[in-house]
Amino acid sequence: MASTAGKVIKCRAAVAWEAGKPLVIQEVEVAPPQALEVRLKILYTSLCHTDVYFWEAKGQTPVFPRILGHEAAGIVESVGEGVTELAPGDHVLPVFTGECKECAHCKSEESNMCELLRINPDRKVMIGDGQARFSVNGQPIYHFLGTSTFSEYTVVHSGCVAKINPEAPLDKVCVLSCGFCTGFGATVNVAKPKKGSTVAIFGLGAVGLAAAEGARVAGASRIIGVDLNSNRFETAKKFGCTEFVNPLEHTKPVQEVLAEMTNGGVDRAVECTGNINAMIQALESVHDGWGVAVLVGVPHKDAEFKTHPIHFLNEKTLKGTFYGHYKPRTDLPVVVEQYLKGELELEKFITHSVPFSEINKAFELMLAGQGLRCIIHMDG
C-alpha cells in the first residue's frame, strides 16, 4: 500500500447519480487524505436502511451524484498529516459519527455526541477543506455520512475510524459500525434492564432485533416483540423474543394490551421504528414507578410527541439515544473483543451476501423486506 500513499487512486465505486435509480459501478478517482484524514481500503460493507432512505431522497434535500454506504470494515491504506493513532495496515471500522476526544461531549462520560464529528446527513464534503475526495473526469462526487463505503477506497476523518483487533473477521464485525450497536446499545447502555425483567421491543427490523438481543444478553425473563408484520415473529425468536403482539390484531391500544400482559406495564420498552405513535405507545406501556422507555427510531421532522404529563408524574422515564450511547473510537474495540470472546452473536444478523458487482441486488432485497443484513464483498 505504501506505493499508493500520497497519490490519487483509481478504483471501482457504486455511484448514485439519481434518486431511486440503480447505482452505477464505475471508475472513480480518490484523492489522498489531507490533514487528520485517512484513506481506507474497504473490504466489506453492508446495506443499512439509512442508505436506502437517502438514495430514495423522499424525505430530504436530494444530494447527487453521491457515494453512499456507512456500515463497513477495511484496512488503512494511508494517513494524512497529524494522524498519530492510526497507521497503514490497521484493521478498522469507519463510523458515521465520530469522537474527536477533545470537545465537551467527548470528555464527558455521559455523551457520545461529538461536537465536531457527530452525524450530519447534509454534509457532502470533507470538513477540513470543504472539498470532495471523489471525482469522475474532474466532476466532484459527493460524500455520505463522512464514510461513503460503497467504494473500494474512501477517505474518512480519523476521528470517525475505530481501530480494532486484526483477529476479528471483517465480514462479520462490519455490522457493528451502525445497526447492531444502535439497537444493542440502546438496551444494554441506556434502558439497562435488570436480570429477570420484562422488556418490550417496538419494531423488529435489524435494529429492533439487536435491541432484543441486548435484552437477552442482559437476562430479561420476558421479551415482547411488537410489530405490524407477524411474519417477523418467527425470526425474532432467534434473538430472544418470547412473546409477540401485533397491534392490528387487537381492538385495544397496544399499551393497554401490554399492561394486561404484564400486570401493569413492562419494566423497559425500546422503540426502534421512528413512528411517532409507537414512540408514545412505548412510554405509555412501561410500568409506573420504575418503567423506562428508550427512543431509537428517527421520526418524521414534523412529528410531535404528545402524551399526558401524568405519565412522568407517576415516575415513568423517557430517554432517547444515539448510536446506542457508544463512543466510536473508545467503545467499538471493546465490543469487537466481546464478539471474539463469544459474548455476542453477529452471524445471525447476516442473512445474505453479494459481490460488489451485484450491489443493486442488496437494494432489491431490502426493498422487498427480505433478510436483515446483506454483506457486500468488495473484491467481487
Closest CA to 31 of 122, 103, 133: 133
Pairing state between β 91-94 and 9-15: unpaired
260's enclosing H/E stretch is: helix 254-261
Active-site residue list: 48-50, 70-71, 100, 103, 106, 114, 118, 178, 373
Distance from C-alpha of 68 to C-alpha of 47, rounded to nearest angstrom: 9
Distances (CA, A) of 5 to 31, 38, 147: 10, 10, 19
Distances (CA, A) of 351 to 172, 277, 347, 348: 11, 30, 8, 7
Tell me, what amino acid is at 67?
I
Is residue 44 within 8 Å of residue 177, measured between CB atoms? no
Distance of CA 64 to the CA centre of its chain: 22
Distance from C-alpha of 284 to C-alpha of 161, rounded to nearest angstrom: 38
CA angle 303-305-306, nearest 5°? 125
Alpha helices per DSSP H over 60-136:
104-107
Distance from C-alpha of 194 to C-alpha of 198, rounded to nearest angstrom: 9
Helix axes 276-285, 254-261, angle to 10 degrees: 30
Pairing state between β 71-79 and 37-46: antiparallel
